[in-house]
Structure 1
């Protein structure tokens, strides 16, 4: 199973990097598989640590794929890293080993601490729709417009029925990115993508 999370890392100088990323978990082992080139990969190799954040604030997912990468962080407790300030829970990780691959290496991370920061209040369909929308946005250069339009139309149903203010803001960022992308000349096609969303 892949869990949609937000991975936080820091540069050797301590500058935070925030990246939505699907992670696999096997007991106390987490597998991070960023696509190269990757700031997450570089930071983990340099510092030997990362934090996996479990958040329902889908603005972070939508924000990162639309160029909004600055989110409040606080220091982690057990590794030299940061976590999102507004996250329900997080796992602090240390690098155990690397399975090298030229396109998508696997960072095998051992969990050294699990922390609960706020209660989980339930699932929301709009949150899932935003995450799916963010995945689509990260693939605008790879998918036909008809598929993107059809999937966004379907996802917008959940937004219309169940979204709160955060989900509405995140969805608007995604829609703005889609409109801007299709308004560009074909030779300028580029959209900010995330490392392993």
Structure 2
């Protein structure tokens, strides 16, 4: 029997802070009934910016340092202004969607923002992910859950992800991996 669930796509959601600067957040989003569903925690900067701004960009990238950087304090990436919404997108994105928020379910602990695509642009070619890029994204998800997961699960997952890193990582992936492993060590988890 087929499962009827929404696919979750790992992307970078860029919102505009009150001072006009960009806030980049790695996030799993879904597309349901022609709307993107963006579900930030209510305590997050993304939540506050979407409540205030009612627009964002969804960035499709292959530079996994942006995923890792958002979780480890490396947030300075080149941006450009959106064309159809009052927002910002990652200049180096392969493509981006400009989103106008149409509706909000303000539930706890996560709100759900329903956004309509008002503009999409292609900037580069997607040539596929290697295993190291996928490993960095999975490690970033682990890092975002350090306080929720058992230490042994984190160690086991990182040990497995290290295989893909060792086989296919380039300079960018190793840099992102290093940032994430430093965060894991700061949480008191030995992963070596």
Asked if TM exceeds 0.5, the reply is yes
Q: Residues 102 and 27 of structure 1: is their aligned pair in 2 closer, same or farther, counting only changes over 3 Å?
A: closer
* Aligned partner of 2:84 among 78, 82, 89: 78
Q: Aligned-pair distance for 1:7?
A: 0.4
Instruction: State yes or no: 1:173 paired with 2:182.
Output: no
Name whichever of 66-75 and 16-25 sits farther off. 66-75
User: Which ranges in structure 1 are unaligned for 5 or more consecutive residues?
Assistant: 184-197
Instruction: State yes or no: 1:120 paired with 2:126.
Output: yes
Q: Aligned-pair distance for 1:165?
A: 0.9
Alignment of 1:102-181 (within 5 A): 102-181=108-187
Q: Given that residues 99 and 118 in structure 2 are in contact (C-alpha distance below 8 angstroms), is that contact kept between their aligned partners in structure 1?
A: yes
Could you tell me which residue of structure 2 aligns to residue 54 of structure 1?
60
Instruction: State yes or no: 1:41 paired with 2:47.
Output: yes
Higher RCO structure, 1 or 2 (CA under 8 Å, sep 6+): 1
Instruction: State yes or no: 1:29 paired with 2:42.
Output: no
User: Which ranges in structure 2 are unaligned for 5 or more consecutive residues?
Assistant: 1-6
**Number of equivalenced pairs:** 184
Give the structure-1-normalised TM-score.
0.89
Q: Secondary structure at the match of 1:134?
A: helix
Cα distance in structure 1, aligned partners of 2:34 and 2:95: 15
Q: Secondary structure at the match of 2:109?
A: coil
Cα distance in structure 1, aligned partners of 2:71 and 2:19: 24
Q: Aligned-pair distance for 1:49?
A: 0.5
Q: Aligned-pair distance for 1:180?
A: 2.0
Q: Aligned-pair distance for 1:27?
A: 5.9
Q: Given that residues 42 and 48 in structure 2 are in contact (C-alpha distance below 8 angstroms), is that contact kept between their aligned partners in structure 1?
A: no
Could you tell me which residue of structure 2 aligns to residue 11 of structure 1?
17
Cα RMSD for the two superposed structures: 1.5
Cα distance in structure 2, aligned partners of 1:82 and 1:151: 34
Give the structure-2-normalised TM-score.
0.91
Cα distance in structure 2, aligned partners of 1:176 and 1:72: 24
